[in-house]
Amino acid sequence: MSDFDAVVVGAGAGGGAAAAVLCEAGFRVLLLERGDALPAAQIPRDHLRNHRLSLYGNNTGPGGAGHPRVSVDALGRAAVVAPHEAAYHNNAMTLGGGTRVFGMQAWRFDPLDFQMASRYGVPDGSSLADWPIGYPDLAPYYERAEWELGVTGGSEDNPFAGPRASGFPLPPVPASPESGWLGRAARSLGWETVTPPLLVNSAPRQGRPACTGCSECIGFACHVDAKNGAHNTVIPRALATGLCVLATRAQAGAIDCDAQGKVTGVSYFQETGEGVVRKAARARIVIAAAGAIETARLLLLSANKAHPDGLGNHSGHLGRHLQGHTYTGAYGILPPGVGYTGAGPGVNIATTKFNHGNPGVVGGALLANEFVSTPIGFWRSGLPPETPRWGLANKRAMREYFRRGVHIQGPVQEIPNPDSRVELDARIRDRFGLPVARLSGTIHPETLQTAEFIRGKAVEWLRAGGAEKVWSFGNSLGLSAGQHQAGTCRMGAEPAASVTDPWGRVHGHDNLFVADGSLHVTNGGFNPVLTILALAFRAAGFAALSLR
């Protein structure tokens, strides 16, 4: 007899959606989350320790000591890194995961994003591949995510997007003077623009208030709970059924699996008032949704005699093809008189004209204006590069430019490669004695070509508007994962070339599923959260059928 119908590991976007689907279908779920269920008041509004700028720490975990990772740089040098360091590639580890503190951009991938290899060919050294499913397979689940969590968007659609059955459930947040200026600049270039879809209440909905337009948005928990994340939509729905047991501060140690490949439950460590307690839950199915780094780590940690290289690693793809987004763009100073409100979220205008069809490069990126900035964030990255770095000249430049800074940027679709990967470190262990994730590899050089092209377009946009100053920086080869981490359990029709089947079920394990960004064969030129949610709704619906 099983304790639960399903154990879901990870209470972020994917795990939260999966738990809601299963519980609402009448199944008993144990939802494991390694972080705490932090109320907003316990997520500090610290401008030096948040998920946008984590100079000395994070505001959402993992907290305390004993959660290191090992990072191997482009020259092969390994270093032990802490969660707030860039090389850790952290995503918020708390109930709701990244959606607790995210920037809320809720894009659907374009139809071409699922067919990258067919459209562009496979660059040397890359593992570029088509998804085993297409945009039409995901469209209904994108719609579920948009309506069930709540997405704001414009009445006009992204002109390059796939067909949609319905509009957005919420109107856009108010436009800013900056976005008006950028819109005029885009029109002068003949570029189509679109209002970025955002997972935020622009009006009261589902018993929670509207966004107040405050100036501490991305990287922080919403002070009125208007960000629509897993923690205030799908997870409460799962709990409301009475069928979901939520265990926080619970670190999965292994998915238990018999010699035939049938998984039987999850062994985990729970931190309690009396110290760490080892527990095991038996279940009919297991869904791994811990993010692309930790899901891969968990499947690797689950190795046993019959599966010595980990679960789903029959063809050596587990943990490989790690990717995120290489960000590029341009900075500028708006002409005097455009106006500044400081209102968040701040992302008000985008173009998707350069996601595909760019001469000589593979893929592309959306370009959008940046979120509202904190003063210290602006001091670090928003000042013109010739500005003196100290003294009265620096102080005067802050006064002159803080309310006139403009930053256009976008997530470049990365060309995956198998050497960018997650492994288990042979030496370093976490506070529970488990080998930690070892991250290595770099982005593919082709990604840099695409980034250079997109950077040029960002510069062109700001120049067309008559910005007073325009500047930008190139990118270099390094590992990419971070908050948009993806790809380590790629889905595919062929077991020899993938970790899961086209539904997210791990090859060779009929009752083990993945429901997070790990599944992404490629990661689009868009923020990935809506795709993660859509895939989780789809995978969990399929998993529920197997429980009947």
Partner 1 sequence: MNPLPLQELEILRSLLDRLVPADEFDGAIQAGVDDYVVRQLGGDLSALRPAVSGGLLALDAEARSRHGRGFTGITDEERTAILADLEAGNPRAAWENSARDFLNLMISLAAEGFYADPGNSGNRNRASWKMLGYDPRVGDP
Q: Which residues bind partner 1 (CB under 8 A)?
A: 44-48, 55-57, 212-216, 223, 340, 342, 374-376, 378-380, 389-392, 394-396, 398-399, 402-403
Nearer Cβ to partner 1 (88/269): 88
Nearer Cβ to partner 1 (74/393): 393
Nearer Cβ to partner 1 (340/542): 340
Q: Give the span between the Cα atoms of 515 and 489, in whole angstroms.
A: 10
Token duo for residue 224: 């009125």
Q: How far is the CB of 508 from partner 1 (least distance, A)?
A: 46
Phi-psi bin for 422: left (phi > 0), alpha (psi -120 to 50), beta?
beta
Q: How far is the CB of 343 from partner 1 (least distance, A)?
A: 9
Q: Are 68 and 436 contacting, i.e. CB atoms less than 8 angstroms apart?
A: yes
Q: How far is the CB of 377 from partner 1 (least distance, A)?
A: 9
Q: How far is the CB of 230 from partner 1 (least distance, A)?
A: 22
Nearer Cβ to partner 1 (43/454): 43
Nearer Cβ to partner 1 (220/354): 220
Nearer Cβ to partner 1 (47/469): 47
State which amino acid sits at residue 425: D
Q: Give the span between the Cα atoms of 255 and 266, in whole angstroms.
A: 5
Q: How far is the CB of 34 from partner 1 (least distance, A)?
A: 24
Q: How far is the CB of 225 from partner 1 (least distance, A)?
A: 12
Nearer Cβ to partner 1 (45/262): 45
3-state secondary structure of 460: helix
Which residues are registered as beta bridge partners of 250? 270
Q: Give the span between the Cα atoms of 46 and 220, in whole angstroms.
A: 9
Nearer Cβ to partner 1 (46/137): 46
Query: Between 445-464 and 177-189, two packed helices, what is the crossing angle to 10 degrees?
Result: 100
Q: How far is the CB of 59 from partner 1 (least distance, A)?
A: 12
Q: Give the span between the Cα atoms of 41 and 229, in whole angstroms.
A: 17
Q: How far is the CB of 362 from partner 1 (least distance, A)?
A: 38
Q: Which string of DSSP letters, residue by residue, matches 63-124?
A: -SSS--EEEE-TTS-EEEE-TTSGGG-----STTGGGGT---B-PPPPGGGG-HHHHH---T
Q: How far is the CB of 65 from partner 1 (least distance, A)?
A: 14
Q: How far is the CB of 398 from partner 1 (least distance, A)?
A: 6
For 278, the enclosing helix (H) or strand (E) is strand 275-288
Nearer Cβ to partner 1 (206/381): 381
* Omega within 30 of 0 (cis) for the link into 62: yes
Q: Give the span between the Cα atoms of 102 and 98, in whole angstroms.
A: 6
Q: Give the span between the Cα atoms of 416 and 326, in whole angstroms.
A: 12
Nearer Cβ to partner 1 (267/381): 381
Nearer Cβ to partner 1 (144/223): 223
Which residues are registered as beta bridge partners of 333? 405, 469
Q: How far is the CB of 548 from partner 1 (least distance, A)?
A: 47
By DSSP bridging, strand 275-288 and strand 263-272 are: antiparallel
62: Cβ–Cβ under 8 A, 6 or more apart, which residues?
34, 35, 83, 90, 93
Q: How far is the CB of 216 from partner 1 (least distance, A)?
A: 4
State which amino acid sits at residue 107: W
Q: How far is the CB of 462 from partner 1 (least distance, A)?
A: 22
Nearer Cβ to partner 1 (119/223): 223
Query: Looking at residue 413, what DSSP letter applies?
Result: P
Locate tokens 């895939």: which residue?
535
In 3D space, the residue among 112, 209, 104, 195 whose CA is nearest the CA of residue 146 turns out to be 104
Q: What is the dihedral of CA 419, 421, 423, 429, to 10 degrees?
A: 130
Q: Give the span between the Cα atoms of 376 and 382, in whole angstroms.
A: 9
Q: Give the span between the Cα atoms of 12 and 516, in whole angstroms.
A: 9
3-state secondary structure of 17: helix
Q: What are phi and psi of 407, to 5 degrees?
A: -140, 120
Q: Give the span between the Cα atoms of 382 and 373, in whole angstroms.
A: 9
Q: Are 298 and 252 contacting, i.e. CB atoms less than 8 angstroms apart?
A: yes
Q: How far is the CB of 427 from partner 1 (least distance, A)?
A: 23
Q: Give the span between the Cα atoms of 266 and 285, in whole angstroms.
A: 10
